């Protein structure tokens, strides 16, 4: 604790990011340190929240646990009993909140909880980071970030670089695989593989033409139209706008909706739905993947017809959108199957007593 | 409107590029109006229309290709599915079986196929239909041949 209070007296502890780049406009009024001796806080906030889209290429540190034990105002907190960097990430918010509500001044609004850890620290008391940091870095190589320049393709320092250089990823050809974080490596390889597959698919999707407008789908003038419309039952390519226009055009006299409008314009195979996609598939599995992805996305959106149980959806159980009530419970439907006169089975819905009476021919 | 224009322009370029692709069909776009086309098609061989050149007029709706083009014969033709006076054509793909994947070129091809395979059960020209339905092939052929010679062949001399 003595070191902590001593540091607190100095007031400044985290190197100012802007100063480090030679561009801090606050000068002497900056609440961060303008002293090169102070450690830079390079923690990635996105990683703290659970997901950083840069992955191992992020130029900020992806540290698993709060390595400066955020606002440990009470030294007895359970937080500090274990090895700090082995604390599960999930525990952090709760702990932080406890500290705030418990010992921080009541005037502090709860929103400050969402602030980045170093900002929090800057305003409240601070300690323990300097005492923690050097020894963690020395002990655990997984805590060390890899050189972001090397990960992005080229590091000007070469072998003299103070950071670890990642291993070479054979897919993207960059030194971005962290040598000591197997999870991250795996994740990167998976993403890289996915990316290269996507690029490949995109490349041969470029050539594909829509049979309605006769243009290359991905070269249409309006960016919003550069999308394929996949028919569920056949493999003929169209722009999503063209095929939707055709399917929603009003049938002229004598035109059968099912055999003309809902059929593929080329092979006349009946499809019940169109799936938008930015890439064209090359095999059945890829198509299935696109269709499943689309359905999953729709399933997370509340159906506007169902309207949380207030309305009724004409698509019933076939609806792609979510049928959930306000309390979050999903609609449960037990279908009633009726045998009709001609031996077929039909699904009964919305049966009214009046229909029964009108069928009695009294 | 914009979509139909773009699509017709595409078809125009395609026709220009592949002029020789189908020697039986010659599609000509009106100089000032891309929604008006004429086509010259050759009568299919081994039919009474062989040797004749038939002129078709295309009027293309603004909603094309969601709606089919309106096509009629300008050249007089004796055929059960073509109206003798107006040149109107009874063909499913020009009406309820239209699909936006059809092009003007493929419509011409369909019309040539219709000339070779008349459908006497849905006639627009009853005389011609009746001849075929009563089995008077010879009567139908000679009538069709006569009109082909009269209307669709260049006059000699």
Q: Round to whole Å and give the CA distance between A295 and A317.
A: 14
Domain extent at residue B39: 1-152
Q: What is the mean pLDDT of residues A319-326?
A: 89
% of chain A exceeding 70 in pLDDT: 72
Distance of CA A208 to the CA centre of its chain: 29
At residue A291's C-alpha, the angle toward residues A287 and A297, to 5°, is 145
B97, B100, B103: residue with CB nearest A246:
B100
A118 in B contact zone (CB under 8 Å): no
Is A212 in contact with B6 (Cβ distance < 8 A)? no
Among the ranges given (A152-161, A287-296, A331-340), the one the predictor scored with the smallest mean pLDDT:
A331-340
Higher per-residue pLDDT: A118 or B99: B99
Whether A290 has a pLDDT exceeding 80, the answer reads: yes
Please report whether residue B157 resides in a domain.
Answer: no
A211 in B contact zone (CB under 8 Å): yes
Q: What torsion, rounded to 10 degrees, do the Cα atoms A260, A266, A268, A274 define?
A: -80
Q: What is the mean pLDDT of residues A291-299?
A: 92
Mark whether A295 and A309 lie in a shared domain. Answer: no
Domain extent at residue A188: 160-206
Is B10 in contact with A265 (Cβ distance < 8 A)? no
Whether A75 has a pLDDT exceeding 50, the answer reads: no
Whether B36 has a pLDDT exceeding 80, the answer reads: yes
Residues of A in contact with B96 (CB under 8 A): 252-256, 260
Please report whether residue B147 resides in a domain.
Answer: yes
Whether A112 has a pLDDT exceeding 90, the answer reads: no
Q: Is B90 a catalytic residue?
A: yes
Q: What is the mean pLDDT of residues A317-344?
A: 82
Is B11 in contact with A214 (Cβ distance < 8 A)? yes
Mark whether A295 and A307 lie in a shared domain. Answer: no
The interface pTM score, or ipTM, of the predicted complex is 0.80
Query: Hunting for tokens 């209070």 — which residue is that?
Result: A5
Confidence of residue A361 (pLDDT cuts 50, 70, 90): low
Please report whether residue B69 resides in a domain.
Answer: yes
* CATH code of residue B33: 3.10.110.10
Whether A262 has a pLDDT exceeding 60, the answer reads: yes
Q: Round to whole Å and give the CA distance between A137 and A133.
A: 6
Residue A312: predicted pLDDT: 85
Q: Which residues contact B70 (CB under 8 A, 6 or more apart)?
A: B58, B59, B60, B61, B94
| Highest-scoring range by mean pLDDT, A153-162, A166-175, A271-280 | A271-280
For chain A, the average pLDDT equals 73
Residues of B in contact with A252 (CB under 8 A): 67, 95-96
Q: How many domains does chain B have?
A: 1
Q: What is the mean pLDDT of residues B99-111?
A: 92
Mark whether A198 and A236 lie in a shared domain. Answer: no
Residue A3: predicted pLDDT: 42
Please report whether residue A229 resides in a domain.
Answer: yes
Is B6 in contact with A211 (Cβ distance < 8 A)? no
Whether B46 has a pLDDT exceeding 80, the answer reads: yes
């Amino acid at each position: 604790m003595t070191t902590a209070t001593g540091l607190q007296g100095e007031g400044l502890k985290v190197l100012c990011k802007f100063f480090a780049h030679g561009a801090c406009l606050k000068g002497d009024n900056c609440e961060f340190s303008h002293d090169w001796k102070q450690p830079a806080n390079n923690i990635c906030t996105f990683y703290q929240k659970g997901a950083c889209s840069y992955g191992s290429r992020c130029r900020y540190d992806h540290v698993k646990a709060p390595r400066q034990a955020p606002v440990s105002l009470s030294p007895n907190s359970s937080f500090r009993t274990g090895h700090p960097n082995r604390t599960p990430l999930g525990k952090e918010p709760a702990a932080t909140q406890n500290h705030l509500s418990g010992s921080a001044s009541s005037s502090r609004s709860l929103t400050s909880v969402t602030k980045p850890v170093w900002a929090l620290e800057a305003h409240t008391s601070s300690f323990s980071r300097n005492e923690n940091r050097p020894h963690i870095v020395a002990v655990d190589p997984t805590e060390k970030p890899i050189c972001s320049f090397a990960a992005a393709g080229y590091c000007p320092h070469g072998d003299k670089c103070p950071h670890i250089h990642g291993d070479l990823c054979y897919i993207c050809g960059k030194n971005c695989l962290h040598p000591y974080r197997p999870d991250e490596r795996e994740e990167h390889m998976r993403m890289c593989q996915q990316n290269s597959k996507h690029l490949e698919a995109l490349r041969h999707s470029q050539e594909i033409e829509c049979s309605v407008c006769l243009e290359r789908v991905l070269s249409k003038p309006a960016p919003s139209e550069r999308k394929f419309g996949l028919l569920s039952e056949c493999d003929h390519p169209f722009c999503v706008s063209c095929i939707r226009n055709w399917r929603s055009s009003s049938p002229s006299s004598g035109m059968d909706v099912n055999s003309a409008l809902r059929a593929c314009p080329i092979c006349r195979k009946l499809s019940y739905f169109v799936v938008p996609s930015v890439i064209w598939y090359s095999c059945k599995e890829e198509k299935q993947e696109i269709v499943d992805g689309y359905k999953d996305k729709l399933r997370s959106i509340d159906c506007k017809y169902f309207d949380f149980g207030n309305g009724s959806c004409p698509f019933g159980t076939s609806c792609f959108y979510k049928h959930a009530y306000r309390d979050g419970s999903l609609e449960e439907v037990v279908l009633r199957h009726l045998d009709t006169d001609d031996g077929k089975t039909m699904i009964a819905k919305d049966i009214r007593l009046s229909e029964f009476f009108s069928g009695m021919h009294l | 409107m914009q979509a139909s224009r773009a699509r017709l322009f595409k078809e125009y370029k395609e026709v220009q590029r592949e002029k020789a692709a189908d020697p039986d069909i010659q599609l000509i776009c009106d100089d000032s109006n891309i929604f008006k086309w004429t086509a010259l098609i050759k009568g299919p061989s081994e039919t009474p229309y062989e040797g004749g050149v038939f002129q078709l007029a295309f009027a293309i709706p603004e909603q094309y290709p969601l709606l089919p083009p309106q096509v009629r014969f300008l050249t007089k033709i004796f055929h059960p599915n073509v109206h003798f006076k107006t040149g109107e054509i009874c063909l499913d793909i020009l009406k309820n079986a239209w699909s936006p994947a059809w092009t003007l070129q493929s419509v011409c091809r369909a019309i040539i196929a219709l000339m070779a395979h008349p459908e006497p059960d849905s006639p627009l020209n009853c005389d011609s239909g009746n001849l075929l339905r009563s089995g008077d092939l010879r009567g139908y052929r000679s009538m069709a041949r006569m009109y082909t010679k009269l209307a669709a062949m260049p006059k000699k001399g």
